[in-house]
Structure 1
Amino acid sequence: MRIEQLTYALGAELTGVNLADAVHDEGLFAEIRAALLKHRVLFVRDQEISRTEHVAFARRFGDLEDHPVAGSDPEHPGLVRIYRTPEQPNDRYENAWHSDATWRVAPQFGAVLRCIECPPVGGDTMWANMVLAYEKLPPRVKDEIAGLLARHSIEATFGSVMPIERRHALREQYPDAEHPVVRTHPETGEKILYVNVFTTHFTNYHTPERVRYGQDANPGASELLRYLISQAYIPEYQVRWRWKPNSVAIWDNSATQHYAVMDYPPCLRKMERAGIVGSKPF
């Protein structure tokens, strides 16, 4: 297996490897896992693997989980089908910077995404290194956000287009989660800026030290949150991947955010993702 780094910030392409082999090859899997922790997102071309092999490889990292809104393959639990068709031209919830499922108490550790069918041009995906985003923050901002907590909501995102009864039922099943604004990577110990499109507000901002007048709380807190979320938009923190059928991306969901670029006309785009269960951020 060869590893080619793609940008300074993150991302590497693996060549000379079949991911199905890593299901049973302990040494190969260990190499891939180490590369993932180092480069944060890995890309592999020409992976003509079955759904069973896809799921088996992803399970090497941990248990898999389904998504309460996106449809899963009925024969392969944990394999979420992200299908776009000409009849869904306005289904656009992926084209925002996010980490998957931060609305869960224990968000995903990572994911293995495989392209089944894609447009001939367009439909790339971008990733941003949120460890680097935290490192590059001004010291005064790091001081201001130390110890801050924030809410993450599925109701305010996926639920927003649902009828009110269904939206409330979704909230009952998945209440808003509260996470540190700066989390610690569970394996490397790195500090990570951990707010994204699922983040609605800070929960412990309104203290006497921060709030002198009402304007310090609102819009002060919302302006700070908007600034922090915007750090993922910085090109120097990003890598961009052009999909082809049988291409695979493997990413560390705790240390990155991603954005599906929907710059293609109505057409078929079929992706299948195995999401790996993570742990509660700290």
Structure 2
Amino acid sequence: MSTVTHLDARSAGDLAVRPLQPTIGAEISGVDLRYPLADEVRDEIKSTILKYKVVFFRDQELTREEHEAFARQFGPLYPHPSAKKNDAGRDDAGKVTPIHRIAAADLKDYERARAAANVDDSWDPYHSDTSWRLVPTWGAVLRAITIPDTGGDTVWVDAGLAYDGLSDDVKDRLAGLHVAHDFRAALNGVGHDYPIVAHPIVRVHRETGEKILWVNFTQRPSILGLDRSESKELLTLVLDQYRKPEHQVRFSWRPGSIAFWDNRATVHYGVRNYGDFPRLLERILVADEPLYADL
């Protein structure tokens, strides 16, 4: 009987990292994510994420169970309330969230909820995942399931580079300010109650020490303590930084693609330019350590 040695035994030196932009985005090859990672390989992947904010793997044909097992090597998984409702009765309820185009039958309810929440549709949909929580998740692993032949890319923004690009005057104005993250309309729709949370607009990354410009434009952002006009002025300056191509990386999905990003260091959005195609990805969130002294 022959013995097969899987790629979980290879060293970090076998990984190949190809940067896509100077500070954000890198493709990693030389590893098969279906199998457990050696500790040094796991640590090298994590350090690459910290450096480039989001990393991509190609030609990884994972099952849902293998997707979960890979993500779990980087921390406990966070069960999202919307996924928990959809997966009621499953042992892994809430661990996997489908990311798909809103079906026509659900579109009216979605638009009604946005109108009721007074969402400002002039904002672009740059966001981070679970920023509505007091302790947001640190990482997200997104797996391609059903991908259109063209369109449907995802854009990530280096939120540290976005902060660095601000003028000193704007940095001074933003210092010490907090912005609201209000996701109540969507949470209430799945029977989950959570208060409005405010985070610093300029956060210090827990592991790298980098200053991060961090606003979720899908969650009714408003700056605490400012009148509406000044709040919108400053938020527009933030958005202008997110929109700059030199602060972004754009990823074109293919079957077998995986994206793994640092949710504390980036914002992102999916480009909706694929019409009625039933684009589907599955996301798993990795919980952050709640350091209560920081709360």
The residue number in structure 1 matching 2:243 is 233
Cα distance, 1:20 vs structure 2: 2.8
Residue 14 of structure 1 contacts residue 44 of structure 1 at CA under 8 Å; is this kept in 2? Answer: yes
Q: Measure how far apart 1:200 and its partner are.
A: 2.1
1:18: how far off?
1.1
Equivalent residue runs for 1:263-274 within 5 Å? 263-274=273-284
**Residues 139-168 of structure 1: per-residue CA shift (max 9 Å, x gap):** 001111111111111025x36xxxxxx459
Measured after TM superposition, the shift of residue 87 of structure 1 is: 4.6
Matches within 5 A, 1:195-274: 195-197=215-217, 198-205=219-226, 217-274=227-284
Letter in 1 for 2:47: A
Deviation at 1:126, TM superposition (A): 0.6
Give the letter for the 1:175 counterpart. Answer: P
Contact 2:23/2:51 (CA < 8 Å) preserved in 1? no
For structure 1, which segment, 108-117 or 82-91, has the greater mean C-alpha deviation from structure 2 after superposition?
82-91
Secondary structure in 1 matching 2:34: helix
Alignment partners' CA distance in 1, 2:106 and 2:278: 10
CA distance in 1: counterparts of 2:102 and 2:178, whole angstroms: 38
| Gap regions ≥5 residues in structure 2 | 1-14, 115-123
Contact 2:25 2:55 in 1 (8 A): yes
CA contact (8 A) 1:85 1:266 kept: no
- Deviation (angstroms), 1:204: 3.4
Give the TM-score normalised by structure 1. 0.84
Q: In the TM superposition, what is the alpha-carbon distance from 1:169 to its structure 2 partner? A: 5.9
Structure with bigger RCO (C-alpha 8 Å, 6+ apart): 1
Show the 5 A alignment for 1:122-161: 122-155=151-184, 158=186
Aligned sequence identity (%): 40
Contact 1:51 1:76 in 2 (8 A): no
Query: Any unmatched runs of 5+ in structure 1?
Result: 160-165, 206-216
Query: 1:37 aligns to what?
Result: 50
**Cα gap change, 1:203 to 1:121, in 2 (>3 Å):** same
Q: Partner letter of residue 53 of structure 1?
A: E
How big is each residue's C-alpha offset from its partner over 1:88-121, in whole Å with a ceiling of 9 and x where there is no partner?
A: 695799x711011111111110100000111111
Structure 1 counterpart of 2:60, from 41, 47, 50: 47
1:57-72 maps to which residues of 2 (within 5 A)? 57-70=70-83
Residue 186 of structure 1 and its aligned partner are, at CA, apart by 0.8
For residues 78 and 102 of structure 2, the distance between their equivalents in structure 1, rounded to whole angstroms, comes to 24
Q: Is the 8 A contact 2:202 2:214 kept in 1?
A: yes
Deviation at 1:183, TM superposition (A): 0.5
Separation in structure 1 between the aligned mates of residue 144 and residue 190 of structure 2, nearest angstrom: 33
Q: Secondary structure at the match of 1:69?
A: helix
Q: Distance in 2 between matches of 1:101 and 1:230?
A: 23
Conserved? CA contact 1:130–1:232, under 8 Å? yes
Compute the displacement of 1:6 (Å).
Answer: 0.4
* 8 Å Cα contact 1:66-1:72 kept in structure 2: no
The one-letter code of the counterpart of 1:258 is H
Q: What residue number does 1:177 align with?
A: 197
Cross-structure match for 1:79: 96
The alignment status of 1:10 with 2:24, answered yes or no, reads yes
Select 1:186's aligned residue among 199, 206, 216. 206
The list of structure 1 runs, each at least 4 consecutive aligned residues, that deviate by more than 6 angstroms after superposition, is none
Pair 1:115-2:144 in alignment: yes
Counterparts of 2:48 and 2:19, CA distance in 1: 10
Cα distance between partner residues in 2 of 1:85 and 1:194:
26
Instruction: Return closer, same or farther for 1:52/1:169 CA change in 2, 3 Å cut-off.
Output: closer
Q: Does the 8 Å CA contact 2:24/2:53 hold for their aligned counterparts?
A: yes
**How far has the Cα of 1:199 moved from its partner?**
4.8
Following the alignment from structure 2 to structure 1, what is the Cα–Cα distance between the partners of residues 156 and 105?
24
2-structure distance, mates of 1:47, 1:167: 34
How far off its partner does 1:229 sit? 3.0
**How far apart, in 2, do the equivalents of 1:24 and 1:68 lie?**
29
**How far apart are the structure 1 equivalents of 2:191 and 2:179?**
22
Amino acid at match of 2:143: R
| In 2, Cα distance between equivalents of 1:79 and 1:261 | 21
Number of residue-to-residue matches in the alignment: 260
CA deviations over 1:174-201 (Å, ceiling 9, x no partner): 1111111110111011100011212521
